[in-house]
Amino acid sequence: MQLSTLDYSFIVVFFSIVLGIGIYVSKKSGKDSSEFFLSGRTMPWWLLGLSMVATTFSTDTPNLVTDIVRTNGVSGNWVWWAFLITGLLTVFVYAKLWRRSNVNTDLEFYEMRYGGKAASFLRKFRAVYLGALFNIITMASVTLAAIKIGGIMLGLEPWETVVGAGLITVTFSALGGFKGVVYTDFLLFFVAMSGAIGAAYYLVNIPEVGGIEALMANDAVKTKLDILPDFSDQNALIMLFIIPLAVQWWSSWYPGAEPGGGGYIAQRMLAAKDENHAIGATFFFNIMHYALRPWPWILVALASIVVYPDIASIQAAFPNIAESKLGHDLAYSAMLTKLPSGLLGVVLASLIAAYMSTISTQLNWGSSYIVFDFYKQQINPNATEKQMVSIGRISTVILMVLSAGLALLLENALQIFDILLTFGAGTGLIFILRWFWWRINAWSEIAAMFASGIISILLKTTALGPLLFNSEDGVFPSWFEYPFVVIVTSAIWLAATFLTQPESKETLRAFYKRIQPGGPGWNKVVNEAKADGEKIAKDNEKWSVPQGITAMILGCILIYTIMFSTGYWIYGRTTPAIILTVIAIISAFLLIKAWGRMKDNIL
Q: What do you get for the CA distance between the two ends of the chain, in Å? A: 57
Residue 479: pLDDT over 60: no
Residue 302: pLDDT over 80: yes
pLDDT score for 472: 46
Which range (129-143, 179-193, 406-420) has the least confidence? 406-420
Cα–Cα dist 454/445, whole Å:
14
Q: How many CB atoms lie within 10 A of CB 154?
A: 16
pLDDT score for 556: 92
Between 269 and 262, name the one with better pLDDT.
269
Cα–Cα dist 170/449, whole Å:
30
514, 112 contact by CB (below 8 A): yes
Distances (CA, A) of 157 to 148, 161, 365: 9, 7, 29
175, 24 contact by CB (below 8 A): no
248, 426 contact by CB (below 8 A): no
Q: How many CB atoms lie within 10 A of CB 599?
A: 11
What is the secondary structure of 89-101 as a DSSP string?
Answer: HIIIIIHHHHHHH
Mean pLDDT, residues 353-381: 80
Residue 8: pLDDT over 60: yes
Cα–Cα dist 412/329, whole Å:
7
Mean pLDDT, residues 146-168: 76
Distances (CA, A) of 37 to 102, 274, 375, 388, 464: 13, 17, 15, 10, 43
Between 269 and 112, name the one with better pLDDT.
112
Three-state secondary structure along 44-70? CHHHHHHHHHHHCCCCHHHHHHHHHHH
Cα–Cα dist 288/188, whole Å:
14
- Tell me which H or E stretch contains 582: helix 574-598
pLDDT score for 415: 59
Q: What are phi and psi of 425, to 5 degrees?
A: -65, 135
Cα–Cα dist 190/185, whole Å:
9
Q: pLDDT tens digit string along 197-216?
A: 988 999 999 999 999 999 99
Contacts of 429 (CB under 8 A, 6+ apart): 250, 251, 259, 490
Residue 513: pLDDT over 80: yes
369, 127 contact by CB (below 8 A): yes
Contacts of 417 (CB under 8 A, 6+ apart): 64, 79, 80, 141
Residue 3: pLDDT over 90: no
Cα–Cα dist 375/373, whole Å:
6
3-class DSSP state of 252: strand
Question: Percentage of residues in the chain with pLDDT exceeding 70?
Answer: 86
Cα–Cα dist 562/581, whole Å:
7
Distances (CA, A) of 168 to 19, 175, 390, 455: 8, 11, 19, 38
Contacts of 343 (CB under 8 A, 6+ apart): 198, 199, 202
Contacts of 40 (CB under 8 A, 6+ apart): 34
99, 266 contact by CB (below 8 A): no
Cα–Cα dist 455/425, whole Å:
10
Mean pLDDT, residues 326-336: 84
Question: Percentage of residues in the chain with pLDDT exceeding 90?
Answer: 25
pLDDT score for 496: 95
Strand-pair partners of 272? 43
Strand-pair partners of 273? none
Mean pLDDT (the chain, rounded) = 82
Runs of H (alpha helix) within 408-522: 413-423, 428-433, 442-461, 464-469, 481-499, 505-515
Cα–Cα dist 281/374, whole Å:
28
Residue 106: pLDDT over 90: no
Check the CA dihedral 24-30-31-34 and report its sign. positive
pLDDT score for 421: 64
Cα–Cα dist 164/403, whole Å:
14
In which band, very low, low, confident or very high, does the pLDDT at 357 lie, cut at 50, 70 and 90? Answer: confident
Nearest to 270 by CA among 520, 517, 442, 90: 90
Which range (118-127, 182-191, 249-258, 285-294) has the least confidence? 249-258
Mean pLDDT, residues 153-179: 73
In which band, very low, low, confident or very high, does the pLDDT at 495 lie, cut at 50, 70 and 90? Answer: very high
pLDDT score for 444: 94
pLDDT score for 358: 78
Q: What are phi and psi of 272, to 5 degrees?
A: -70, 155
